[in-house]
Structure 1
Amino acid sequence: MGMVERIKKIRNFMEESRLDLFLVTKPENIRYLSAFSAGSDARLVISSDGQYIFTDSRYIEQAKRECPDWELMQEHVGRLDSLAGICDKYNRLAVESHCLSYDLFQQYATRLKSELVPLANTIERQRAVKDELELDLLTTSARIGDSVFNQICLEIQEGLSERYIANRITYLLKEKGSTRESFDTIAVSGENAALPHGQPGNRLLRRGDMLTLDFGGFYQGYAGDMTRTVVIGEASPKLRDMYLEVLEAQELGVSLVKAGVSCREIDMQVRECLRKYGLDVYFQHGTGHGVGLEIHEIPRLSPLSDDVLEEGMVVTVEPGVYIPGWGGIRIEDTVIVKKGGCEIITRSDKGLLII
């Protein structure tokens, strides 16, 4: 599905919802619909027969290159004169209320004559199902992550700090093709691994430590995400057993992923698997989430989710257990949803790796 088809779907939605215009302000949605990569300094306006990009003088030449099918309007995002010149000709204007500040919404309401129609996650729901190009880019992001993991495992040794390892992963991501991190790299060891989103610090790796690595990078706008937990030197019997129990839950979750399945059901069954071992009380987050132009997207694999998987969605499966004062284990894959199952695109070995 190319840009033309994406815009067509939005216009069909607008017609069904009796909307004259759609004002797009979220950077990821701007990129999805126009290919413009400087979306934080831009706005899109879509009508039934027109499409406009508003950006300032710094990005006009870039917009000409990236968005040849769009009419360019040079205007700073803090100004509304040119925007009003187009919008005021129409009655009903959809805005992305979930990502507008109250102040900006009030500016639009005061300055624009159109009736503002607040919408949330309309484009995000369309983005949840990826086309072939997007799947290729996400697969490449995953390949980069696998390559980084393989390399960092050759370098990890006792005495290195969490911060050094995290910084090294960030460097390797960029060296191997990522433009930037998908999120701040997590490298936490020993008792620090009990923090699901712990910050890498000065703690030095010691023999017997678990080391959780959660990282990924953007490739042509699309995020990578994977987690592996490795062990330094030797693994205690408790650590070995718990690793296998978390791996069992993670592999169960992956096996349940297919089109038509409830995300809540997957989360529930993963928790039930951990409950067999008394570990469910240490599982502190959802089982997974969508991945794409953002690191966290629709759908959500969680106890509160009403989402149902569709073919072409890309999701993570990442159960973890976190025991204060002891440590934690998380294992995460990114997978493509298929009709009869899924394709795992993070292919690094998930067996207990002792370094």
Structure 2
Amino acid sequence: MKDLLRVEKFRQKIESSGKIPYLISDMGDVLYLSGFTGSIGYILITEGENIFITDGRYEEQCKIELKGSWRVEIVSSYKEYFEKLRELFHKLYVTDKLPLNLYLDLSKNVDLVVDDFSEIMQMRMIKDDEEIQMIKNAYQIAADAMMNSLSGFVFGKTEREWAAILEYNMKLSGADKESFDTIVASGYRGAMPHGRASDKVINIFEPVIIDYGSKANYVSDITRMVYMGNDSEVLDNLKIISETVDYCIDLIMPGEICSEIYQKSKRYLEKYNLDEYFNHGLGHSIGIDVHEKPSLSKYDDTIIKEGMIFTVEPGIYFPGKYGIRMEETVLVKKNGCEIISSVLKDRLLKL
């Protein structure tokens, strides 16, 4: 029933700031406010009503999932429905996630006001107890899947085969689907931070990045390494990246600024002359979506608050050779962090 409280809280916020009527189109926002898990739906908050708009495929689902005083509009044509909206409203507030085609269509007759730092985004930054439990559940699913997959991770198989084993076990462990396309990047392909699993055969002596996650309403996102070789440079860099993760986690607490955490992570790697090989943000929030705001990045000056959740994933990448990334996820508490991803203890997996 938390979603019922959320939509009323959202209504109070937009009423107090004069942002009515308000149209919500992003499915993550729709799920957050309504509990609806279908693939398409819109929420329209007017002065007197909370209106949920979808089509006939989801009529029965709405009866099950929508609680409280929703007026459900089952439409046969979204285009015709939004044409009626153009007649009803002269001004409409929307988030910056509104699809371009709908923006262009509605803006023909309606003054659209883009709420680019929307109340709903600010609400989603702070996770409530129910959300935290669902995120922890997604991490437990991912951890169980990994432990059940290790025996199938045989050298000589392809990255795609390793990914398929892991994804299969995530489904068996309770995932609805993967949080994102599973990354298995071995050897030289590890130098691509988002190197999705390919047909490359995995060699026993090369580092392997495995970045994956499960989605069960809410998501998980974990990165672990496999390395069976004895190259001293690789072993040293594995140790440095693991220490960088720990160092950054210790920095995250209420009152700190996201961009400053990122800058400190760069300076930490600079001690080892590795900062130039770290070419992405330090981390991001997760929840319903795998990339939520705020982020631990150069350009995000959000002040960290209790109840926020962040990934911490420093990585270094050597073109043509290999890459190393390790990732934990933390829940910000009053005096520090709880490491949610510790359900999968080892950052360097043992096969």
Report the TM range for the smaller structure's normalisation.
Answer: over 0.9
| Equivalent in the alignment of 2:281 | 286
| Equivalent in the alignment of 1:57 | 56
Q: In structure 2, the residue corresponding to 1:346 is in which secondary structure?
A: helix
Q: In structure 1, the residue corresponding to 2:108 is in which secondary structure?
A: helix
Q: 1:343 to 1:267 in 2, by over 3 A?
A: same
Q: 1:77 to 1:317 in 2, by over 3 A?
A: farther
2:99 aligned to which of 90, 101, 105 = 101
d(CA) in 1 for partners of 2:50, 2:80: 17
| Equivalent in the alignment of 2:144 | 147
Alignment check: 8 A CA contact 1:64 1:72 kept? no
d(CA) in 2 for partners of 1:29, 1:305: 21
Report deviation, 1:92: 3.7
The number of equivalent residue pairs is: 348
Q: 1:145 to 1:292 in 2, by over 3 A?
A: same
Residue 224, structure 1, aligned to residue 220, structure 2: yes
Structure 2: tracts of 5 or more residues without a match: none
| Equivalent in the alignment of 2:23 | 23
1:297 aligned to which of 289, 292, 295 = 292
| Equivalent in the alignment of 2:195 | 198
Report deviation, 1:81: 3.5
d(CA) in 2 for partners of 1:63, 1:297: 26
Deviations, residues 321-349 of structure 1 (Å, cap 9, x unaligned): 00012101100011111111111111123
d(CA) in 1 for partners of 2:102, 2:349: 50
d(CA) in 2 for partners of 1:18, 1:160: 59
The one-letter code matched in structure 2 to 1:108 is: L
Report deviation, 1:181: 0.7
Greater mean deviation of Cα atoms: 23-32 or 155-164: 155-164
d(CA) in 1 for partners of 2:17, 2:267: 41
Alignment check: 8 A CA contact 1:20 1:90 kept? no
d(CA) in 2 for partners of 1:83, 1:210: 55
Q: 1:82 to 1:268 in 2, by over 3 A?
A: closer
Residue 270, structure 1, aligned to residue 269, structure 2: no
Report deviation, 1:205: 2.0
Alignment check: 8 A CA contact 1:145 1:346 kept? no
Question: Which stretches of structure 1, 4 residues or more, deviate above 4 A after TM superposition?
Answer: 87-91
RMSD of aligned C-alpha atoms? 1.9
| Equivalent in the alignment of 2:308 | 313
Q: In structure 2, the residue corresponding to 1:228 is in which secondary structure?
A: strand
Alignment check: 8 A CA contact 1:109 1:116 kept? yes
d(CA) in 1 for partners of 2:235, 2:81: 64
Structure 1: tracts of 5 or more residues without a match: none
Report deviation, 1:100: 2.4
Greater mean deviation of Cα atoms: 259-268 or 279-288: 259-268
d(CA) in 1 for partners of 2:142, 2:177: 12
d(CA) in 2 for partners of 1:102, 1:242: 44
Alignment check: 8 A CA contact 1:19 1:92 kept? no
TM score, norm. by length of structure 2: 0.93
The one-letter code matched in structure 1 to 2:31 is: R
Residue 133, structure 1, aligned to residue 137, structure 2: no
Deviations, residues 137-170 of structure 1 (Å, cap 9, x unaligned): 0001011111122222232222111110011111
1:150-169 → structure 2 map (5 Å cutoff): 150-169=147-166
The one-letter code matched in structure 1 to 2:94 is: V
The one-letter code matched in structure 2 to 1:308 is: I
Q: In structure 2, the residue corresponding to 1:79 is in which secondary structure?
A: helix
d(CA) in 1 for partners of 2:338, 2:294: 17
d(CA) in 2 for partners of 1:77, 1:294: 28
| Equivalent in the alignment of 1:117 | 113
TM score, norm. by length of structure 1: 0.92
Deviations, residues 20-54 of structure 1 (Å, cap 9, x unaligned): 2111111111111111111x421111124311111
Q: 1:5 to 1:83 in 2, by over 3 A?
A: farther
Greater mean deviation of Cα atoms: 13-22 or 159-168: 13-22
Q: In structure 2, the residue corresponding to 1:142 is in which secondary structure?
A: helix
| Equivalent in the alignment of 1:8 | 8
Deviations, residues 101-160 of structure 1 (Å, cap 9, x unaligned): 333213212355xx4222124122211111100000000101111112222223222211
